[in-house]
Amino acid sequence: MSGLATPDAPGAVGSRVVPGAPNGGLATARQFVAKTLAIATMEVRKLRHDPMELVTRAIQPLLWLLVFGQVFGRLRALPTGDLTYTEFLAPGILAQSVLFVAIFYGISVIWERDLGIVHKFLVSPTPRAALVLGKALSAGVRALSQAIIVYLAALALGVRVDLEPHALLGVLFFVLCGAALFATFSLIIASMVKTRERFMGIGQVLTMPLFFASNAIYPIAVMPDWLKGIVAVNPLTYEVDGLRALMLKSGAPGLGLGIDAAVLVGVLALLVAVGARLYPRIVI
């Protein structure tokens, strides 16, 4: 058949590429990307069945910006430099919204296990890493709706938002990467605890410490030394730092955009590798 590789074709046996053949690595990479995007697309389509999820998730960031931001902005108790407190807070609330969308993503994996969907994934030829990364990226797409909501609220409150294309692309990167990171972390937890009740309990325990032990709502400079050590190993800190530099016209990275991006990508890659190994355990 013309659509299949023949045994006489260079570097092919049947329809499989020999690892040592020319372009074999490139073909494998393309297949991995294609399967990852296919999984992500399938997950994103689920939003059509529950559009109210996007509406309900909009309430929390709006409350933080409208109530918490306005009240603490009047106190003028925190050193935020050239930024008003609402401006300082807006990127942190965006990161918080991304965290809250992603950290409970593992519950869907447990539902899929109960419905038998995970078993079908595991017997498919799709690499485990592509399964995990595809699901993680779909959480990033869900988080983009939160970014739109936070941007609109920030503009309405007079926040000096940077709408330049390069800044928006940078925010897009940090939102996708941050959501994928915490969604993968969530999947790892789900693979270990295996029940919805335990997962929900652990997710609730982790969410607030991750948020408060970061630079989302107050500067690192005002933190006690013991908390600064925790903040330094919290990935959310680097996501907030990158968002604050890119989202605001007068924002500047405290740690450096290169460091922020490298930490998020590095931690995400590590978690995807761990998640790929643990994902099959959810059915055991």
Per-residue pLDDT of the chain (284 residues; tens, 9 = 90+): 434 443 444 433 333 444 444 456 787 788 878 777 777 777 667 666 666 666 667 778 878 888 777 777 676 667 777 888 888 899 999 999 889 888 888 787 888 787 777 777 777 777 888 888 888 888 888 788 888 888 998 898 888 999 999 999 999 999 999 999 999 999 899 888 878 888 888 888 888 889 999 998 888 888 899 999 999 999 999 999 999 999 998 776 678 899 999 999 999 999 999 988 888 877 76
- The reported pLDDT for the residue numbered 53 is 63
Assess if residue 3 is contained within a domain.
no
Please report how many Cα atoms fall inside a 13 Å half-sphere around the Cα of residue 32, on the Cβ side.
12
Please check whether residue 13 lies inside any domain of the structure. Answer: no
**Measured between alpha carbons, how far is 57 from 96 in angstroms, rounded to an integer?**
11
Residue 250 main-chain phi, psi, to 5 deg: -105, 20
In a domain, 7, yes or no: no
Q: Does residue 19 form part of some domain?
A: no
In the 8-state DSSP scheme, what is residue 161? B
Residue 108 in domain: yes
Q: Single out the residue of 211, 47, 146 nearest to residue 203, CA to CA.
A: 211
Burial (CB count <10 Å: 0-12, 13-18, 19+), residue 141: middle
pLDDT at 237: 94
pLDDT for res 9: 40
- Residue 138 burial by Cβ neighbours in a 10 Å radius (0-12, 13-18, 19+): buried
In this prediction, residue 54 carries a pLDDT of 63
- Total domains, the chain: 1
- CA dihedral 65→66→72→73, nearest 10 degrees, is 90
Q: Which tokens sit at 237?
A: 């800190």
Structural domain range at position 166: 24-283
Q: Which of 132, 80, 83 is nearest to 109 (CA)?
A: 132
DSSP 12: E
Return the pLDDT at 131: 81
> Is-contact 41 35, C-beta < 8 A?
no
1 within some domain: no
**Residue 133: partners with Cβ closer than 8 Å, 6 or more residues away:** 36, 39, 180, 184, 272
What's the whole-model pTM score? 0.81
pLDDT of 72: 72
**Residue 128: which of 273, 284, 283, 282 has the closest Cα?**
273
Establish if 176 belongs to a structural domain.
yes
Residue 18 zone, left/alpha/beta (φ > 0; ψ -120 to 50; rest): beta
pLDDT given for residue 265 in this prediction:
95
The whole-number pLDDT of residue 232 equals: 92
Task: Report if residue 42 sits inside a domain.
Answer: yes
Identify the burial level of 220 via C-beta atoms within 10 angstroms of its C-beta, where 0-12 means exposed, 13-18 middle and 19 or more buried. Answer: middle
pLDDT at 2: 39
